[in-house]
Amino acid sequence: QQQVKQSPQSLIVQKGGIPIINCAYENTAFDYFPWYQQFPGKGPALLIAIRPDVSEKKEGRFTISFNKSAKQFSLHIMDSQPGDSATYFCAASTRRDEKLTFGTGTRLTIIP
């Protein structure tokens, strides 16, 4: 019930391409969905987040698409750059306890 499933496990995209990372959840009480970016040797850093009252949120080159009926959300990176190479985690939480449940991560590599 608390799980967040993330795919793919790894992804290689050419520079300028649009990598897409998908997440699915079961707990309908989840109402906050952030994405975190983690570089080797560093802690995760918040990239962008969405609440279920909107279907899309864009910040710079990063876009979250949210499908409440399907209980799925995804991250799109426009005009991807080698500097975007990192591990990306989706997460979810409820207003009640604010505990983040993380997905298993996607290792993204952008090749020049």
Query: Could you tell me the smallest distance in angstroms from the CB atom of residue 16 to other proteins?
Result: 28
Amino acid letter for position 64 = I
Binding piece for other proteins, criterion CB under 8 A, among 11-19, 60-68, 70-78, 95-103: 95-103
Q: Which is nearer to other proteins, 17 or 32 (CB)?
A: 32
CA angle 31, 44, 92 (to 5 degrees): 15
Residue 13, strand partner residues? 110
CA distance 79 to 72: 23
DSSP labels, 61-110? TEEEEEETTTTEEEEEETT--GGG-EEEEEEEB-TTT---EE---EEEEE
Question: For residue 110, what are its two tokens?
Answer: 């952008």
Q: Which is nearer to other proteins, 19 or 44 (CB)?
A: 44
| Per-residue mark of binding to other proteins, 35-54 (x: CB under 8 A) | ------xxxxxx--------
Does 62 help bind other proteins (rule: CB under 8 A)?
no
Please select the residue that binds other proteins; options are 35, 74, 93, 110, rule is CB under 8 A. Answer: 93
Q: Which is nearer to other proteins, 85 or 104 (CB)?
A: 104
Does 78 help bind other proteins (rule: CB under 8 A)?
no
